[in-house]
Amino acid sequence: MTQLYCNVALPVPLRTTFTYAVPETLCPQVQPGIRVLVPFRKKSLVGVVLEMTKTVPEGTKIREIQQVLDRVPALTPKLLELGRWIASYYLAPIGEVFRAMLPPATEISLKRRIVLTDSGQALAEKWKDGTTLTDLTEAEAEFLQRMLEKKGELALGAGSKRGMIPGALERLERRGFLEIRETVEGRKRKMQYVFAWKGKAAAGGKPGEKEERIRVLLETERGPLPMPQLLKLAQVSRALIERMLRDGLLENWEEPIDPVEDPFETGYTPPAHTLNETQESAFKAIRARFELGEFGVQLLYGVTGSGKTEVYLRSIQDTLARGKTAIVLVPEIALTLWIGRQCRAWFGARFEGVAVLHSALSDVERAQEWWRVRNGAARVVVGTRSAIFAPVENLGLVIVDEEQESSYKQEETPRYHGRDVAIVRAKLENALALLGSATPSMESYHHAANGKYELLTMGLRVENRNLAAVEIVDLREDFQQTQKTSPISQTLHAGIAECLSFRTQALVLINRRGYSWSVLCRSCGASVQCVNCSISMTHHKSRNRLECHYCGSIQAVPKACPKCESKFVYFFGEGSEHLEERLRKEFPGARIARLDRDTARTKQQYQETLGAFASGALDILVGTQMLAKGHDFQRVTLVGVISADASLSLPDFRAAERTFQLLTQVAGRAGRGELPGRVLIQTYYPEHYAVEDAVRQDYLAFYERELHFRRMMMYPPFTSLANVIVRNANLENAIRWSRRLSEYFAPHDGKGIRILGPASAPLARLKKEHRYQFLLKSPKKSVLTKILSGALAFCDTNEIPQTAVLVDMDPLTLL
């Protein structure tokens, strides 16, 4: 028999796959899409088989697959194709792409142990006998001694390194006294068989009454069930189930038992609305598209409160009725609950099949949800960005809610955009992509205006509710009157007071978390910077420390200037923590809470605060952007925005777009119930068009003005951009490599592409690394891709490490 090989994608930052031999015993199982455990250097890694092959790359020693992890391939052929597309389009290491697509490998755990070698043991015994070991430190010798007492073996963990200087373990290993060994252990997890209706009756004989009961239960009422529940609910014998299994009426598979907490509160019934005219015509257009049964993209542009969710739900219902599946992407974890809950209420009872996928789930929870989808038990998936990789089959519809949101862009490798991947996936699977937004991204609206996407517009709020009245508070005037710089202007103060007296609710938005976002010295003007990044440290008063919001490093709050030792340090720029404190001072009786990444660290905290606000247990909710999105609070009559300018001043061509979106989204949170809403936007630049158009809530006017700017400046949607960063902890390396790379770029500049740089990146230092930047602009994506892949090949032949070069295709920010 000829030896079989396969190419495996491994989670390492390299742009290649790796070839492994398939041992004969594993031959029947190994196929594309299956996860395998393979030896890699001195470790074992979980990877996914991309293809089978009979040839091997020359001159490499081929090792064997250790273990196959799946019964059915984790990834479907379509997902394999999607992964390859992502790797080539975003120029991302293929293994890291597939790492992002795979479920957590909860079925195994890798244990590492330190083992004393023979020479290590000899040495330790010598030391015990009193011989002085000149070439070992006391601590190292003691460690060998400890190993000897432990019969030569120790689990590798924090505890085993106690008392050791860093690197000592590695040194002992290098000199052959110790070995680090790895073992793979299956995780002991309780498994159970789950039964589902398969419906292929053996020849002859109509299904009996009991079979019919089981069919109804498994197919329509409840979905797949484990044996004990099935026996109880259907009132049948185990023997019958086993017979039906043999006859092909049922199928079963193994699932872990670990109880997964149901994220949805029970007893929730969603409001049942009949669609209004606007919704109806949007839904008709979506349905007409389904009838075609082919790939298409629709942009549902519906003002805030126009009832997009309702249209989504009907479209999903329609998709399911056609025997297909749906994925709904939302920009925030909190929104998975809000939309997931409605999906569950609509489809749960009939299909028992709504899965929720997001990063706040534990590995076990995520794996379980993931396999529920893979096994076909869940046919609707609601989730954040990576849920676009949900392994549904027979995909009919992908919804991307709030498609303009920057959270769809992953800002680490692989740097993909969830919305764009959603469109590609829909194309691969002949499905419909439905992008929804009240403030579509420039790119999407441009495509719709050009006829590349179909535009569906919902211009009215449900029940003809008015959009909230938006007013500008000019902070320059406020300052002239009060001579105080307070984050809360007189107008905003009066507005909140009014809310309190009417017992309605107020939302107050601020763009930064923390207490003050800068610490400055009055004597020398220095600001306290992060030791790893070129960025100011943010003061967190409640935790009494400074934090870097980019790398997470912390420092003590300085009593004197770190540069000139002056005592006159002052804290500058209010953050959410500061704002909350002020509101408490100004409105002593009010019930106030804050929602930002510091107060909502877990989904429970998130839900608790949102729940308390929704139920009326709070009067004022202070928070960052996370408040602006999607939530539907009925009793909010006032929304205050502390500073519209903060996002305008960033060195970023999307600054205006982002500001407009944020202000419009925020304004949309007011006046959603029966009560009319009011929005107060505080700003120093009331004449900026992003602010002006947001006040009028005139998306189209903004779109036209911004489009003009983009055309003049040659920015998307008129060109494609790529940002290339060369980075290294060593400044000289970063400079040398970026200069060398510019030798490759220079001759291409001006030939259908503009190449700017190398320049110091706006964030010149990040997480200890120095960063130099090239910006590539071309009206033709194909030109961009060609030059970028050329650049990466150039790096390989010029000893510029792959890990030092970061490519960001279609970047959202240029920091």
Give the residues lining the site for ligand ADP (CB under 6 A): 271, 273, 275-276, 279, 302, 304-310, 462-463, 632
Cβ proximity to Zn ion: between 523 and 733 the closer is 523
Shortest CB 536 distance to ligand ADP, Å: 36
Beta strands in 168-302 (DSSP E): 178-186, 191-197, 225-226, 250-256, 296-302
Cβ proximity to Zn ion: between 194 and 561 the closer is 561
Can you tell me the distance from the alpha carbon of 8 to that of 48, in angstroms, rounded to the nearest whole number? 5
* Interaction partner, residue 271 (Zn ion, ligand ADP, none; CB < 5-8 Å by kind): ligand ADP
What string of DSSP letters covers 381-426?
Answer: EEESGGGGG---SSEEEEEEETTT-GGGB-SSSS--BHHHHHHHHH
Cβ proximity to Zn ion: between 506 and 766 the closer is 766
Cβ proximity to ligand ADP: between 297 and 313 the closer is 313
453, with CB counted inside 10 A (0-12, 13-18, 19+), is buried
Integer-rounded Cα radius of gyration of the chain: 30
Structure letter (DSSP) for residue 523: T
* Interaction partner, residue 310 (ligand ADP, Zn ion, none; CB < 5-8 Å by kind): ligand ADP
Can you tell me the distance from the alpha carbon of 61 to that of 64, in angstroms, rounded to the nearest whole number? 10
Can you tell me the distance from the alpha carbon of 630 to that of 334, in angstroms, rounded to the nearest whole number? 9
Cβ proximity to Zn ion: between 145 and 523 the closer is 523
Helix pair 475-482, 490-502: axis angle to 10 deg: 90
* Interaction partner, residue 275 (Zn ion, ligand ADP, none; CB < 5-8 Å by kind): ligand ADP
* Interaction partner, residue 561 (Zn ion, ligand ADP, none; CB < 5-8 Å by kind): Zn ion
* Interaction partner, residue 37 (Zn ion, ligand ADP, none; CB < 5-8 Å by kind): none
Shortest CB 630 distance to ligand ADP, Å: 7
Q: Quick count: other Cβ atoms within 10 Å of Cβ 166? A: 7
Shortest CB 568 distance to Zn ion, Å: 8
Q: The sheet that has 754-766: what strands, in order across it? A: 754-766, 769-778, 720-728, 805-809
Cβ proximity to ligand ADP: between 307 and 383 the closer is 307
List residues binding Zn ion (CB under 5 A): 521, 523-524, 526, 530, 532-533, 548, 550-551, 553, 561, 563-564, 566
Cβ proximity to ligand ADP: between 276 and 534 the closer is 276
* Interaction partner, residue 521 (Zn ion, ligand ADP, none; CB < 5-8 Å by kind): Zn ion
Helix (H) or strand (E) holding 208: none
Shortest CB 462 distance to ligand ADP, Å: 4
Shortest CB 275 distance to ligand ADP, Å: 5
Name the pairing type of β-strands 720-728 and 769-778. Answer: antiparallel
Shortest CB 615 distance to ligand ADP, Å: 15
Shortest CB 536 distance to Zn ion, Å: 10
Can you tell me the distance from the alpha carbon of 6 to that of 25, in angstroms, rounded to the nearest whole number? 15
Helix (H) or strand (E) holding 585: helix 576-586
Shortest CB 395 distance to ligand ADP, Å: 23
Closest by CA to 491, choosing from 474, 504, 468, is: 474
* Interaction partner, residue 73 (Zn ion, ligand ADP, none; CB < 5-8 Å by kind): none
Shortest CB 186 distance to ligand ADP, Å: 45
* Interaction partner, residue 279 (Zn ion, ligand ADP, none; CB < 5-8 Å by kind): ligand ADP
* Interaction partner, residue 755 (ligand ADP, Zn ion, none; CB < 5-8 Å by kind): none
Cβ proximity to ligand ADP: between 50 and 330 the closer is 330
Q: In 13-23, which positions are buried (b, 16+ CB within 10 angstroms) versus exposed (e)?
A: eebebbbbebe
Looking up tokens 């015994």 gives 125
Cβ proximity to Zn ion: between 264 and 550 the closer is 550
